[in-house]
Amino acid sequence: MNIIFLGPPGAGKGTQSKRLETRYGIAQISTGDMLRAEVKAGSDIGREAKSLMDAGKLVPDTIIVSMLESRIQQPDCARGFILDGFPRTVAQAEALDVVLARLSRRIDVVLMLEVDEDALADRIAGRFSCAKCGASYNDVSKPTLVAETCDLCGSHEFIRRADDNRETVASRLSAYRKETLPLLPYYEDKVMVAFIDGMAPIDEVSKQIDSTMTEVEKLTQK
Q: Give yes or no for residue 217 having a pLDDT over 90.
A: no
For residue 10, count CB atoms less than 10 angstroms from its CB and return exposed for 0-12, middle for 13-18, buried for 19 or more: buried
Q: Is 77 annotated as a binding residue?
A: no
Q: Is 127 annotated as a binding residue?
A: yes
* 19 has a pLDDT exceeding 80: yes
Per-residue confidence band for 168, with pLDDT thresholds at 50, 70 and 90: confident
pTM of the model: 0.79
Say what the pLDDT of residue 35 is.
Answer: 84
Residue 51 has pLDDT above 70, yes or no: yes
Nearest to 108 by CA among 221, 188, 220: 220
**What pLDDT band is residue 222 in, cutting at 50, 70 and 90?**
low
Tell me, what's the pLDDT at 155?
96
H or E element that contains 129: strand 127-130
**pLDDT tens by residue, 1-12:** 999 999 888 788
Whether 127 is catalytic is yes
Pairwise CA distance, residues 87 & 103, whole Å: 17
pLDDT the model gives residue 130: 95
What's the mean pLDDT in 80-107?
94
**Cα(27)–Cα(21) distance, integer angstroms:** 6
Averaged pLDDT score across all residues of the chain? 89
pLDDT band at 26 (very low <50, low <70, confident <90, very high): very high
Domains present along the chain, CATH in parentheses: 2-116+180-221 (3.40.50.300)
Q: Rounded distance, CA 11 to CA 112, Å?
A: 10
Among candidate residues 47, 161, 177, 190, the one labeled active-site is 161
* Annotated binding residue 200: yes
* Annotated active-site residue in 18, 88, 105, 142: 88
The count of other CB atoms within 10 Å of the CB of residue 94 is 13
